[in-house]
Amino acid sequence: MNTLDFSVILVNWNTADLTCRAIDSVLEDANHSNLATEVLVVDNGSTEGSVEAIRANHPGIEILENTLNLGFARAVNRAVWKATGEFILLLNTDAILRPGALAAFKSAFDGEPQIGIAGGALISPDGSKQNCVAPFPSLVTELINKSLLRSFARRHRSKVPDGVTEPFEVDSVIGASLAIRGKTLAAIGGLDERFFFFFEETDWCYQCHKLGWKVVCVPQAMVEHGQGESSKPVLVDTRVEFYRSRYRYFQKNHGKLKT
């Protein structure tokens, strides 16, 4: 039996200030909601004193150190198998939990045993909604992304609909705040490490659906998101990596594009 409610995993790469801010929000929310929570930080080969800075601010936090930037999936997997919480939350370092987010995630999981993955409602610092859900990639979505319908589709299909307050089912959620049930993790395994950056969480959601689990967005689990601040100091060409990961996703799950 799990003695902890949540294990929260953050992957840091030269973003100590953001990471410390994210940790603060987790600890404050866990205390506010009276939920037993551990925080695991994976440092992906930082070169700017991140580990020392995080330890100075949060001496009780466990930090797993990689000597190189091994990519998001490999970093997460190093921590995910050490996690002891009933639920595991992946949180970007440029994200901040709003009060009550952890309780909202737990309520969603407890209320529907078939929920395997739950995503938070991402918002900007000014409170405006951000994209937080997405359909699975297909030939249709690829055509939309290349057309004039792209902005319309993103605006109307990727955010929490106005007036919706209860968890609702989706294809996939954005990995900036993604919670997974421990039992689901045991069934589908860790993130596919062939994805260095991009599409790893989409693939996770796809595997979740394949095994009969539900994927939902939780409107009450509000998470303030910096939209890319955590990935600014990257070593890879993000555009190239995006297309490479998208190709891997199609090859793995479809073999070829599906409509």
Q: What is the mean pLDDT of residues 153-178?
A: 84
Tens of pLDDT, residue by residue over 76-125, are 999 999 999 999 999 999 999 999 999 999 999 999 999 999 999 999 99
Q: Which residue range is the domain that position 135 belongs to? A: 4-253
Q: What percentage of the chain exceeds 70 in pLDDT?
A: 77
- pLDDT of 151 strictly over 70: no
- pLDDT of 189 strictly over 90: yes
> CA 199, CA 197: separation in Å to the nearest integer?
7
SS (H, E, C) the chain: CCCEEEEEEEEECCCHHHHHHHHHHHHHHHHHHCCCEEEEEEEECCCCCHHHHHHHHCCCCEEEEECCCCCHHHHHHHHHCCCCEEEEEEECCCEEECCCHHHHHHHHHHHCCCEEEEEEEEECCCCCECCCEECCCCHHHHHHHCCCCHHHHHHHHCCCCCCCCCCEECCEECCCEEEEEHHHHHHHCCCCCCCCCCCHHHHHHHHHHHCCCEEEEEEEEEEEECCCHHHCCCCCCHHHHHHHHHHHHHHHHCCCCCC
Q: Find the range with the poorest average confidence among 164-168, 215-219, 244-248, 249-253.
A: 244-248
> CA 245, CA 195: separation in Å to the nearest integer?
6
Q: Which one is predicted more confidently, 147 or 159?
A: 159
Q: What is the mean pLDDT of residues 212-218?
A: 98
Bridge partner list, 6:
37, 87
Question: What total of structural domains would you count in the chain?
Answer: 1
Mean pLDDT across the chain: 86
Residue 172 lies inside a defined structural domain of this protein = yes
Residue 12 lies inside a defined structural domain of this protein = yes
Residue 155: predicted pLDDT: 47
- pLDDT of 167 strictly over 70: yes
| Range among 89-103, 186-200, 238-252 rated most confident | 89-103
Residue 18: predicted pLDDT: 97
Residue 259 lies inside a defined structural domain of this protein = no
Chain centroid offset of residue 251 CA:
23
Residue 71: predicted pLDDT: 86
CA torsion angle 78 133 226 11 (round to 10)? 0
Residue 116 lies inside a defined structural domain of this protein = yes
- pLDDT of 134 strictly over 70: yes
CATH value at residue 121 = 3.90.550.10
Residue 11 lies inside a defined structural domain of this protein = yes
Residue 258 lies inside a defined structural domain of this protein = no
